[in-house]
Amino acid sequence: MKKTKVYDVLVLGSGIAGLSFALKLAAKGCQVAILTKKDQAESNTNYAQGGIACVTSPEDDVRSHIEDTLVAGDGLCDETVVEQIVKEGPPRVRELIDFGLSFTADPEGQPSLGREGGHSQRRILHVKDITGRAIEQALLAQIEREAKVTVFEHTFAIDIITRNKLKGKPSHLDPASNQVVGCYALDVRSGEVNVFQAPVIMLATGGAGLVYQYTSNPDIATGDGVAMAWRVGVPVQNMEFVQFHPTTLYNDSDKRFLISEAVRGEGAILRNMAGEAFMEKYHPLKDLAPRDVVARAIDSEMKRTGSRHAWLDITHLSSESLEKRFPQIFAQCKQNDLDMGKDWIPVVPAAHYVCGGVATTLDAETVLPGLYACGEVACTGLHGANRLASNSLLEALVLADRGAKAVEKYLAKVPPMEEPIREWVDYGGHSEDERVVLLHNWEELRRTMWDYVGIVRSTRRLTRARTRIRNLAREIQEYYWNFSVDPTLLELRNLVVVADVIIECALQRKESRGLHYTIDHPRKEKIPENSEVVKT
């Protein structure tokens, strides 16, 4: 008989949100388990190139950062949330520095601040173009020294277990009167499903870029946290606002390498196939316009000229200076026979960041007692209809801190477990000749989302996508109940939920706002509202 693993807190995910949250609770004496489906360093954080938007310069001010965020969010930001996160950012950044993170400095030893689209000031703290990786390494070094944190690598969380589930009731009904008691998780290496018991779960599972055929995200970004929360009845909102990064390196594969917005912050110019700088036709800020504007502009130019990509021109800077400022991007371009200082870079938009997610308070709380969410998986109200560049790492740090304080209070009053959690029951078996079905489902889902639920939408396209996705969902659900689980099946099960939720939220929004643009409703409504989907 397998032994149930018992902790005070379970953290699902090992990016900046999950790691910083775990460290804060461990410092309060909590026994914390971090579950990550790949290696502990594999996360969306690890791939974040740009940096952290934070007011640190005397030439900048909090009000300016707030206003830039509100403008980018296109009327849907929660101003109270924006104000608190921007104000609480500087002390959270100082904690990273205390952990040993060294941001890139100028010759005088002061932080070398970058500027990205939508920002009125230079305020992006960065470590060259590998900021995410540097943050991840600093936090993991602290985790390794923390005896109260146990990391379970290659452990895939399947479903949240609630008190109602133990009593034989549907978990998604009335989540406010329910309670988290743990989760089931697959040990990827052994194939066994284990029980992890805890009164608190923090969803820090990152984004869902792989729901689209072309994405800048790593392979782990399959919307696992959103799907798990939705299955237990926690509201998911604003999922229609999917940010397509305007500039990823064009190639023939599904995986697109991100060319950071910081490159345009250093003066790069977008050009069409005729070599014309076109952004002045679309926005007063030209190449530093918000991402949604830039992505649609590139898409428009590509369709107008019949081209497969646009060009990004930063040849006004030398190859030597570019290699020093953007070593990772420079090396990747070099692998594609491109010299950034001499050659224009072929770029196209790709799915990058989901602004919506699991609905939370400013303290990372969901409506389900014991369930918290932080980072890209959560929807706090900061981003609204479009995320301002480099605000995501800032949000993760602040919400992890606030969430840790809220969890500490919750643990002091949470009622004890009433009965033991039952072991996982495997109803299925193995059938290798059926595995090709999963591959076909995976390809159809991502292609459908790219073709019908992409940068430019219509009611007809969304309705077609909903029909196809729901047919896929039935097939995937049947496979789930009849075969043993593995990572591919679990990711596909989660992605089809995320796809359906994105479509439903998009159909609810009968206007064009921020990242959601539909040709059937090209104007904005006067009073914007959040979209929301709940399992019924």
**Residues designated catalytic:** 291
Give dist(CA 165, CA 169) in Å, integer: 5
Q: Which of 354, 357, 266, 362 is nearest to 315 (CA)?
A: 266
Give dist(CA 255, CA 38) in Å, integer: 18
Strand, coil or helix: 260: coil
Strand, coil or helix: 209: helix
What is the DSSP secondary structure assignment for residue 300, as one 8-state letter? H
Give dist(CA 274, CA 425) in Å, integer: 61
Residue 485 C-alpha from the chain's centroid: 24
214 near 359, Cβ under 8 Å? no
191: CB partners within 8 A, 6+ apart: 484, 486
Rounded CA Rg of the chain: 22
Give dist(CA 163, CA 186) in Å, integer: 21
Structure tokens at 377: 């998986």
Distances (CA, A) of 535 to 56, 175, 181: 43, 11, 20
Structure tokens at 532: 């929301």
E-only strand ranges, 153-241: 155-162, 180-187, 193-197, 200-203, 236-237
38 near 154, Cβ under 8 Å? yes
E-only strand ranges, 165-318: 180-187, 193-197, 200-203, 236-237, 242-249, 269-271, 310-313
Using CB atoms within 10 Å of the CB of residue 281, give its burial: 0 to 12 exposed, 13 to 18 middle, 19+ buried: exposed
Distances (CA, A) of 15 to 167, 205, 524: 34, 8, 35
The torsion of the CA quartet 205, 207, 212, 215, rounded to 10 degrees, works out to -110
Phi and psi, residue 351, nearest 5°: -55, 135
Please state at what angle helix 487-508 crosses helix 224-231, rounded to 10 degrees: 70
213: CB partners within 8 A, 6+ apart: 254, 446, 447, 449, 450
Give dist(CA 422, CA 400) in Å, integer: 31
